[in-house]
């Protein structure tokens, strides 16, 4: 029951408020129209503000477009510009009066790329000044990073020259290895010929020994012993030659492995040089992606925004004036 009574009282109070507003609707109309007129006058007669903007890319020392290889991260450069790190040099270069020639540079980082949109809002008569201002700002930023860019280029060039020297050294070593491999091959061929000749001679001695054994006589015993002595010498010499041949084969394998390693190093150095040359093309100072330009329409004041605010403020002030007038008249009674 109590809740129903409270709801009825609220409805009665609300209806009374509506009656008061309807009763004094002229006040609401007058105040609203007056506020609207003031708002429109502000929109029509206030100085028109234009936005001059440009798009820049911070200095980079790599191929990335997401900021990973920036010489100066986009967010860092954004903070420097907003905090006025370059304003003093800008004023000196353009000979600006700090009291008269005031400006506020705004910076946004669109879509979290490594690009920055730099802008300044100025009156219509200062549009050209805004263009000059942004162009000189880009020049000042570029000059501030010039030493770092030069150092990056010098470091890149130094690495390329070091890799080229390493390639020359490796090629000389590879040539020496090739000469050694060729010499080992020649020696192996000679050893093979000698081993073949020794083996052939040993076979001949064995054949001769067999003939003597078949027709053995006391006079031929000395010849058989002599042949055995020759055969033992041949076998001993053959073993020596086979050992030398085995050592040469192992050496040739090791030389070939070393040559392949050197050749692989040369390929790695050449790949490094190619990467460094590509990287050098991406070592760049500040780049203007979009030149400074003036917005085609004023960014302020906005007629639509002024109209909407004027209507809202007019209604609010009109209602306030109605209840203030009602309260004042009741207090008189």
- In the numeric block, which tokens belong to residue 41? 């006058």
Q: Residue 139: which pLDDT band, with cuts at 50, 70 and 90?
A: very high
pLDDT at 9 over 50: no
- What secondary structure, in 3-state letters, does the chain show? CHHHHHHHHHHHHHHHHHHHHHHCHHHHHHHHHHHHHHHHHHHHHCCCEEEEEEEEECCEECCCCCCCCECCCHHHHHHHHHCCCCHHHHHHHHCCCCCCCCCCEEEECHHHCCCEEEEEEEEHHHHHHHHHHHHHHHHHHHHHHHHHHHHHHHHHHHHHHHHHHHHHHHHHHHHHHHHHHHHHHHHHHHHHHHHHHHHHHHHHHHHHHHHHHHCCCHHHHHHHHHHHHHHHHHHHHHHHHHHHHHHHHHHHHHHHHHHHHHHHHHHHHHHHHHHHHHHHHCEECCEEEEEEEECCCCCECCHHHHHHHHHHHHHHHHHHHHHHHHHHHHHHC
Least confidently predicted of 5-9, 42-46, 94-98, 160-164 = 5-9
Q: Which residues pair with 294 in a beta bridge?
A: 52
pLDDT value of residue 261: 95
- In the numeric block, which tokens belong to residue 35? 């506020």
Location of structure tokens 């000679």? 190
- 203 is a domain residue: yes
Location of structure tokens 């209806």? 15
pLDDT at 118 over 90: yes
pLDDT value of residue 52: 95
The radius of gyration of the chain's CA atoms, rounded to the nearest angstrom, is 49
pLDDT at 11 over 80: no
- 134 is a domain residue: no
The CA distance from 163 to 169, in Å, is 10
- 93 is a domain residue: no
- 269 is a domain residue: yes
pLDDT tens per residue across span 27-80: 777 877 887 777 777 666 678 889 999 999 988 876 554 444 667 788 899 999
Q: Which residues pair with 293 in a beta bridge?
A: 53
Tell me whether the omega of the peptide bond preceding residue 301 falls within 30 degrees of 0, making it cis: yes
Q: Residue 281 burial by CB count (10 A; 0-12/13-18/19+): exposed, middle or buried?
A: exposed
- 298 is a domain residue: no
Q: Residue 177: which pLDDT band, with cuts at 50, 70 and 90?
A: very high
- List all residues 6 or more positions away from 242 whose beta carbon is below 8 Å from its beta carbon: 195
292 touches 131 (CB < 8 A): yes
- 151 is a domain residue: no
What is the count of structural domains for the chain?
1
Instruction: Using alpha carbons, select from 12, 27, 13 the residue that is nearest to residue 329.
Output: 27
pLDDT value of residue 113: 79
- 301 is a domain residue: no
Which one is predicted more confidently, 127 or 215?
Answer: 127
The CA distance from 146 to 128, in Å, is 27
- In the numeric block, which tokens belong to residue 250? 């192992």
Q: What mean pLDDT comes out for the span 2-28?
A: 62
262 touches 174 (CB < 8 A): yes
Q: Cα dist. 133→124, 219, 226, 290 in Å?
A: 15, 123, 111, 15
Which one is predicted more confidently, 10 or 241?
Answer: 241
In terms of residue numbers, what domain contains 206? Answer: 165-280
- 154 is a domain residue: no
């Amino acid at each position: 029951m109590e809740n129903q009574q409270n709801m009825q009282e609220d409805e009665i109070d609300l209806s009374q408020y509506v009656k008061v507003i309807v009763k004094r609707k002229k006040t609401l109309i007058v105040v609203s129209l007056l506020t609207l007129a003031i708002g429109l006058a502000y929109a029509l007669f206030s100085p028109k503000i234009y936005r001059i903007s440009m798009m820049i890319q911070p200095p980079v020392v790599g191929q990335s477009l997401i900021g990973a290889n920036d010489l100066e991260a986009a967010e860092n450069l954004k903070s420097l510009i907003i905090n006025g790190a370059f304003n003093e040099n800008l004023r000196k270069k353009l000979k600006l009066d700090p009291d008269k020639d005031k400006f506020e540079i705004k910076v946004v980082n669109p879509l979290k790329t490594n690009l920055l949109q730099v802008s300044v809002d100025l009156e219509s008569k200062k549009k050209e000044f805004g263009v000059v201002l942004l162009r000189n700002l880009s020049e000042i930023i570029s000059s501030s990073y010039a030493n770092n860019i030069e150092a990056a280029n010098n470091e890149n060039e130094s690495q390329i020259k070091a890799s080229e020297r390493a390639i020359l050294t490796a090629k000389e070593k590879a040539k020496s290895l090739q000469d050694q491999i060729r010499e080992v091959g020649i020696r192996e061929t000679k050893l093979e010929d000698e081993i073949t000749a020794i083996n052939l001679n040993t076979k001949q001695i064995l054949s001769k020994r067999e003939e003597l054994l078949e027709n053995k006589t006391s006079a031929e015993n000395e010849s058989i012993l002599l042949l055995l002595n020759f055969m033992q010498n041949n076998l001993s010499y053959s073993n020596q030659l086979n050992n030398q041949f085995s050592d040469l084969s192992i050496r040739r394998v090791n030389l070939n492995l070393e040559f392949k390693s050197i050749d692989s190093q040369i390929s790695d150095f050449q790949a490094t040089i190619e990467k460094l040359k590509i990287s050098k093309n991406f070592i760049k100072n500040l780049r203007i992606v979009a030149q400074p330009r003036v917005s085609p329409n004023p960014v302020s004041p906005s007629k639509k925004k002024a109209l909407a605010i004027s209507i809202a403020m007019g209604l609010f002030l009109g209602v306030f004036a109605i209840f203030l007038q009602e309260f004042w008249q009741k207090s008189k009674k």
